[in-house]
Structure 1
Amino acid sequence: MSAEFLLGAASGIYWGDTIFYLVLFLVLVALIKHFAWGPITSMMEKRAEKIASDIDNAEESRAKAEKLESQRQAALKDSHVEASQIIDRAKTNGEQQKSKIIDGAHQEVTALKENAKQDIARERQDALESVKDDVAELSLSIASKVIVKNLKLEDQKALIDSYIEGLGKQNEVK
């Protein structure tokens, strides 16, 4: 052994120190594994899980956003359709009201024309009756004056003219 020990000493390797350092290294590795490696790997796993969870949440949020966007687009289309229907109904109602107003106006004009015709006929009848009454009065008046006086033809013409002139003045007063 001494030869080996000398040989090892001559080569500069001390096996006792080497074994001691090797045991110390193994103890240090075991301590690091027990106290540091476990918490570090646990921390790394938790971080990896958090990142995976964040990615999943982001994916879910993106899916929800896409779903909400499609719902918004559908609602927008529905509102356009509804607006078009409301406009169509308003146009239809407007056309119906326009027709009713025009029909009412035509009926009113027809009624006014009929009333005007009746008024004109009544006024005409009244004028004719008035003229008949005036002619009857004129005839009676002339006859009574002719009877009272035997007039000459010229006197009769003058009498008729004066009576007609008086009649025109009476109508102006009325």
Structure 2
Amino acid sequence: MSSEFLLGASGILWGDTLFYLVLFIILMALIKHFAWGPVTSMMEKRADKIASDIDNAEQSRQKAEKLEKQRQAALKDSHVEASQIIERAKTNGEQQRETIVDNANQEVATLKENAKQDIARERQNALNSVKDDVAELSLAIASKVIVKNLKLEDQKELIDSYIEGLGKQNEAK
């Protein structure tokens, strides 16, 4: 009995197994024909899209890095240019200051020289005027002394009065 059970059971098993195996092969053929191709195609498209997105992202990252480097270089150049502009402005300002100071010094020297010349001219004019006044005074005194034989005291008074008159004339001028 136990051997019949095993034989019967093994016969059923072999038939069912064969049936399931044939069904599995048919199912696999149907899946391959109807589902496997579209699924594989869809997966390949998805993989291509993901690879393309990754490549695009990498290119975008590289472009961004390149633009960042360009921006940094431009910023550095602008700092250098700004420093140069400031340096040129300082240099120009210093040159202008020196030019202004030199011009002012030259103008002061010219004014001093003109003032010295004016003073010398006025001094000479004053000396000439005093000489003329002294000569006139001497002539006037001499003529009065000759016209009038004055005593020594009268001559001193006459000279003093002319000197006072000369002082008043110079003050009036």
Q: TM-score, normalised by structure 2?
A: 0.80
1:75 aligns with 2:74: yes
Equivalent position amino acid for 1:72 in 2: R
The residue matched to 1:150 in structure 2 has which SS? coil
Q: Which runs of 4+ in 1 moved over 6 A?
A: 14-21
The number of equivalent residue pairs is 169
Question: Structure 1: which 5+ residue stretches go unaligned?
Answer: 1-6
Counterpart in 2 of 1:151? 150
Counterpart in 2 of 1:103? 102
Equivalent position amino acid for 2:53 in 1: D
Q: How does 1:1-174 map to 2 (within 5 A)?
A: 11=9, 13=12, 25-174=24-173
CA drift at 1:65: 1.5
Question: Structure 2: which 5+ residue stretches go unaligned?
Answer: none
Distance 2:125 2:164 in 1: 21
* RCO comparison, higher one (Cα < 8 Å, 6+): 2
Name the stretch that deviates more: 130-139 or 37-46.
37-46
Distance 1:73 1:19 in 2: 74
Counterpart in 2 of 1:4? none
Equivalent position amino acid for 2:31 in 1: I
CA drift at 1:131: 0.2
Distance 2:17 2:145 in 1: 182
Alpha-carbon RMSD: 2.8
Q: What is the identity percentage for the equivalent residue pairs of Structure 1 and Structure 2? A: 84
Distance 2:35 2:74 in 1: 57
Distance 1:73 1:39 in 2: 50
Distance 1:154 1:80 in 2: 97
